[in-house]
Structure formats: structure tokens, C-alpha cells
Amino acid sequence: MTPPLVLLHAFPFDSRLFDPIRSAVADRVQLITPDLRGFGTGPAIGDSDPDLGLLADDLIAQLDAEGIDKAIIGGVSMGGYISLAVLRRYPERVAGLVLADTRSGADDAAALERRRTAAHRADNGDVAPGAEAIVPLIGECTSAPIRGWLADIVAGVPAATIAWAQRAMAARPDSTEVLAGTSVPVLVVVGELDAITPPEVARVMAATAPEAELVELPGIGHLSSAEDPDGFADALTGWLHRRF
């Protein structure tokens, strides 16, 4: 029997990022898409220190509450970072891994500076409007309705959450050795036009994990599950059929 599949959303969105693939994927596997702490209907950040490990702990607590011992853990962008944090902290709970438009390495100096600047601005309530925030994330051919839908999700994220998440992502460790050491099946998905975590980054991850498959989706950017839901769902369900 195929283990449940957990998909964790990208920053700065919520679990609605996976709405376009729900029906196709849920026909194949039990799908769990939580809102992460601070996003959507997720629990409040409170006064916790910025740490993606806390979000990994939240997920395991949810799986415990639902009586799920093992699951396939995956996510897009920040969701992929958290998936790797789960693998680092709770390897016995991971039946498989889905890494979409993400990276296993830590941020370089330039990325760290961008995150710190964005966090500081968010501390002062200065955040990019939704429509502006999604421009670097999506391909030029993404339709106007999808752009509007994504912008609406981003517009609802509190500035405090943006600041916390930027600092948490900046603090994450390099997970390349963790990925190299896992024996579970891994699916790596990337958009051909992803400018944030480009295809060459995905190819390195796929070469690093011993049991990995790589799917590159043509003509799309960083938000593959939203920009090409059919292609994303086909890649996911095909991999599930072959590996579970």
C-alpha cells in the first residue's frame, strides 16, 4: 500500500498552492497538504526563534495525531527545505521524498544578504504587493488568472510571517550530505525556466540522491505545481506508480 503523501507549500503561499493538482493526485494516494506555521490557517508563529526545524516538528506532530507512522514527504521551494529538515531529524518517518523547485544546499552570501534585507524590511511592514512578489517566481507565459490567484494568496501573508520565514530559510543548514545518505526513492521536479532554483541545481540533487528520478517541466518557472498542474501531477503519479 502506498504511504500517504505530504506536500508542503512554497514561500510565501499556503496549501492552496496544491489546489490545481488535488483531484489528480488524490485519486492515487492519500494527500496531506498542511498550512505551515504562520501561513493560511496554520498555527501562529508566536515568539519562536526562526527555524525550519520547528516546521518539521509541527509536521511530525500532525502525523502522530493522525496515526501515520511513515509518509512520503515533499514540497515546493521552502516546502522542499522543510522536507529535507524532516529527513535530517526524522529519517525513520520518511518513506520517500519529493523535491520540487528547491535545493539541498544552504544559501550563499548573496542569498543570505537578500533574505536579511527582506526580513528587515518586513519588520517595518514593508513587503512587496502580491502581484509584484510573484513576478520573479513564475514563467512569462503563466496565464493572467493564475497570476491573479497566486497574488491573492501572497497578499494575505502577514509581514511578521515573511520576516520569520526569511530568517528561518537563511539559517537552514546544508542538507546535501543528508540527501546523499538516504536510501528512499526521491523525485526531483523543476521548471525549465525556474530562475530561483534552476534546472542545473535540480540535476545536482538528482545525481546526489542514490534513488532519484528527475523531471524537468518545459516552459514554466519556480511554482511548478501551480504553473503546470497537469505536468506536475503526471510526474508525481507516474513516480508513485513505479516506486510504491
Specify the CATH number for the domain of residue 73.
Answer: 3.40.50.1820
For residues 190 and 164, the answer to whether their CB atoms sit within 8 Å is no
At residue 27, does pLDDT exceed 90? no
Q: Is residue 194 part of a domain?
A: yes
Mean model confidence pLDDT for the chain: 96
Containing structural domain, residue 60: 5-106+174-243
pLDDT band at 131 (very low <50, low <70, confident <90, very high): confident
Q: Is residue 44 part of a domain?
A: yes
At residue 55, does pLDDT exceed 90? yes
For residues 71 and 93, the answer to whether their CB atoms sit within 8 Å is yes
Q: Is residue 113 part of a domain?
A: no
Q: Is residue 129 part of a domain?
A: no
pLDDT band at 130 (very low <50, low <70, confident <90, very high): confident
- Summarised one tens digit per residue, pLDDT across range 99-126 is 999 999 999 999 999 999 999 999 999 9
Q: Is residue 221 part of a domain?
A: yes
Q: Is residue 99 part of a domain?
A: yes
Q: What is the spatial order of strands in the sheet that 71-76 belongs to?
A: 31-32, 5-8, 71-76, 94-100, 186-191, 212-217
Q: Is residue 134 part of a domain?
A: no
Res 129: pLDDT: 84
What is the pLDDT averaged over residues 38-48?
A: 91
Q: Quickly list H helices, the chain.
A: 22-26, 52-65, 78-89, 109-123, 130-133, 144-155, 159-171, 176-180, 199-208, 224-227, 229-243
Res 235: pLDDT: 98
- Summarised one tens digit per residue, pLDDT across range 183-201 is 999 999 999 999 999 999 9
Q: Say whether 124 sits in a helix, a strand or coil.
A: coil
Q: Is residue 180 part of a domain?
A: yes
At residue 85, does pLDDT exceed 90? yes
Number of structural domains the chain divides into: 1
At residue 35, does pLDDT exceed 90? yes
